[in-house]
Structure 1
Amino acid sequence: MSDDQDAIDERIQDAGERGDLAELRRLADGGSSDAADQLIETATELGALDELRRLAESGNQDAADQLAELTEE
């Protein structure tokens, strides 16, 4: 793994721990699937339905599944 990837992974982890959806969104929009996964996980934990909706509408099935689970309760 490259140093760049290590740095990105660290930023993803830090942003997830802080609940920083904006940073995760920026990294995910930059093409990081790990950031997208963390964004979904963090948005789910925070109950950020708008973020999950945005991801689901852009075609992310995991976000759609999480949104469905959260909204059916």
Structure 2
Amino acid sequence: MIDPEMRVLRERADRGDASAADELIELAAERGDMDELRRLSAGGNATATDQLIELATELDDMDELRRLAAGGNTTAAEQLMELTAE
């Protein structure tokens, strides 16, 4: 997807278009785009948060999991504990 298309998709998602948000999340997860997932997660999108945790876990990104856990995300805290217990 080219940048102008991403911009339109972001604008739609920011206006509350759930389909656009879902598409952005899917694209970001496929590309490993943690910045996009963080942005959507910060906006309150639980699916983006779940995908961010999944990607951080796959990449062994302890800093990201710690950041999410410190913000109160129990799933991130659980993943962090699992990764550090290995």
Pairwise TM-score range, normalised by the shorter structure: over 0.9
- Counterpart AA for 1:30: G
Matched residue pairs, number? 71
Alpha-carbon distance in 1 for matches of 2:31, 2:56: 12
Deviation at residue 4 of structure 1 after TM alignment: 1.0
Q: Name the structure 2 match of 1:8.
A: 21
**AA in 1 matched with 2:29:** G
Q: Distance in 2 between matches of 1:8 and 1:66?
A: 25
Structure 1 unaligned residues grouped into runs of 5+: none
Structure 1 length normalisation: TM-score?
0.93
Task: Report the 3-state secondary structure (helix = DSSP H, G, I; strand = E; otherwise coil) of the residue aligned with 1:59.
Answer: coil
SS of the residue 1:17 aligns to: helix
- TM-score after normalising by structure 2: 0.79
Letter of the structure 2 residue corresponding to residue 23 of structure 1: E
Query: Larger relative contact order (C-alpha < 8 A, sep ≥ 6)?
Result: 1
Matching residue of 2:46: 33
Q: Percent identity?
A: 62
Larger Rg: 2
The 3-state SS of whatever aligns with 1:50 is helix
Structure 2 portions without partners, runs of 5+: 1-15
What is the Cα-based RMSD across aligned positions, in Å?
A: 1.1
2:37 maps to 1:24: yes
The 4+ residue runs of structure 1 with deviation greater than 2 A are: none
